[in-house]
A and B are shown apart, each in its own frame.
Chain A
Amino acid sequence: MDLSTEELDGGVTSIVLVGRLDIAGAGAIDLRFSALTGSRKAVVVDLAQVSFLASMGIRTLVTGAKAVRGHGGKMVLLSPEENVEKALKTAGIDALIPIHHDRAAAIAAVMG
């Protein structure tokens, strides 16, 4: 699992995850993800290249969203693959962390 970031206009941070967000993947990114979500106010998590997601990965995403919300910010998820989106929706995560499939809409949502 790889994590990279891109700082966008308007103070938006895009966090791009690549690979399997399983137990090993979540363990590989947890520290950096929590450092980022603990300090940024507008976060778009790009899931387009995440091929797998299970409960430990969902834990990572929810923990991050709570951290962003905790200091008054907003976090959304961008473009999960079909099966990954099904896991998110089955867990009810879409009601907690908005899911967008359009990058511009995702960026607008966290800037608002």
Chain B
Amino acid sequence: MTDPTSDAFAAAPAIRLRRDLGELVRLADWAGALARRQPQRLAFALDLCLEEAVSNIVKYGVRAAGDPPEIVVTLLEHDEGVALRIEDEGEAFDPTRAAAPTLPATIEDAAVGGLGVFLMRKFATQIRYERIGRRNRLTLGFAPR
């Protein structure tokens, strides 16, 4: 990934979210305001990836008692686009390794759902997962194209 350094992320705007799907509205408003100067295509991709990544953490990232309840999202604008970092201390989950869903051939066969991670991988330009101690760190890159 054209790698924004950790230092750059340290100085970038961040939002702390509770593990609650209701927080997604606040997240989308926050990211939309920060990315308002970006091309619409990039802003849409960012919006989509945030919703899919954070809703996955809320729904599936079961955590142990005593783990910090927060999800921290950092948004960094740089010369080549936008980078997002999403961190939580739930169960380890690497979306870059999740199997791609088999797209159904007919409506009757369509298994409803299961598309979120697949869409995230298609809409982000770059995606990287790291497990750092007990922390999941997902870094997504978006190029203006």
- State in angstroms the CA–CA spacing of A22 and B114 once bound together: 15
What 0/1 pattern do residues 42 to 53 of B give for CB contact below 8 A with A?
A: 001101100110
Contact in complex: B52, A55 (CB < 8 Å): yes
Contact in complex: B108, A91 (CB < 8 Å): no
Interface majority SS (helix, strand, loop, mixed), chain A: helix
What total of chain B residues lie within 8 Å of the partner, measured CB to CB?
A: 30
Q: Is A65 an interface residue (CB 8 A)?
A: yes
Contact in complex: B118, A91 (CB < 8 Å): yes
Pick from A10-18, A41-49, A56-64 the stretch touching chain B: A56-64
- State in angstroms the CA–CA spacing of A52 and B35 once bound together: 15
Question: Given A22-B24, A24-B25, A62-B112: A55 and B119 within 8 A (CB)?
Answer: yes
Q: Which of B25, B41, B116 contacts A54 (CB 8 A)?
A: B116
Contact in complex: A62, B107 (CB < 8 Å): yes
Q: Is A23 an interface residue (CB 8 A)?
A: yes
